[in-house]
Structure 1
Amino acid sequence: MSMPVSDSALLPLQAAVLTTLKADTQLRGLVQGVFDWVAEDQAYPYIVLGEAIETPDNANDSHGSNTVITLHVWSQYRGYAQALRIAARVRALLEHRPLTIAGHRHVATYYVSQQTLTDPEPPGDIRHVPISFRVLTQVSP
């Protein structure tokens, strides 16, 4: 049974994650912003919504989604300390925390992974920490 496009959790999930992160005072004190799209001259550090993979997670006669969503933390701080502190706050806000997702019932959010990367392009001072979460949802009746 395939999930109707209108029942996709991707867009409402992205909105819920952005709303949750932007609403947190502590996170706002750590970053210059949380975005779905970033201007080229955006000041560091910041978080941008990244890739997502949604697969059906249907149960009996209900439609659900298993979505892995990745957020990207970007920093120009020397070393990874700043980016990892930001990623830790993101994890505290999302892991095992309820989300309000329009048209969907939030079932669970699990931390999947994070990685530390250095942008090799000159000047080579950009730190990047992708952090991924698995979000399970059911379509609201």
Structure 2
Amino acid sequence: MTTALWPLQVAVVTRLRADSPLTALVSGVFDDVPEDQAHPYVTVGSITETVDDAHNQRGLEAQVELHIWSRYAGFREVADILAALDAVLDRQPLTVTGFKDVSVAHVQHTELRDPDPEIRHINVSYRVWLTKA
């Protein structure tokens, strides 16, 4: 099996950082958040993969988890950021090095309250189907 873990993360982060409507809403998109980072921001969570081969093609189905973090009172700000993420990723073409026929779909999201009562958080999952080039 060939993994898409790193090329997929690079593709997603690059796409998000290049989107001006999204970057107008957040202070950054991170794999590793700098200490004392201003809110709101988006982080890459886990990526899981499952082999999804076809007759004569190697394929993968991946789940990409992103996290939206905010100090806004209530969930409105994180919901607006979620809508911006969807505009960039959900059912939009994505170029992933070493792969073709890449499809992305929003699977689910969950609003969460952090132990810090000032922090709001949405965990969002995207399913990605990829065929090895």
Report the Cα distance in structure 2 between the residues aligned to 1:107 and 1:57, rounded to whole angstroms. Answer: 13
Report the Cα distance in structure 2 between the residues aligned to 1:112 and 1:25, rounded to whole angstroms. Answer: 24
1:1-141 correspondence to structure 2 within 5 Å: 3=1, 7-121=2-116, 124-140=117-133
Percentage of matched positions with identical amino acids: 43
Unaligned runs of 5+ residues in structure 2 are none
Structure 1 runs (4+) deviating above 6 angstroms are: none
Structure number with greater Rg is 1
Aligned-residue Cα RMSD (Å) equals: 0.8
Deviation of the 1:60 alpha carbon = 1.0
More deviation in 76-85 or 106-115? 106-115
Deviation of the 1:15 alpha carbon = 0.5
TM-score w.r.t. length of structure 1: 0.91
TM-score w.r.t. length of structure 2: 0.97
Task: Figure out how many residues of one structure are paired with residues of the other and give that number.
Answer: 133
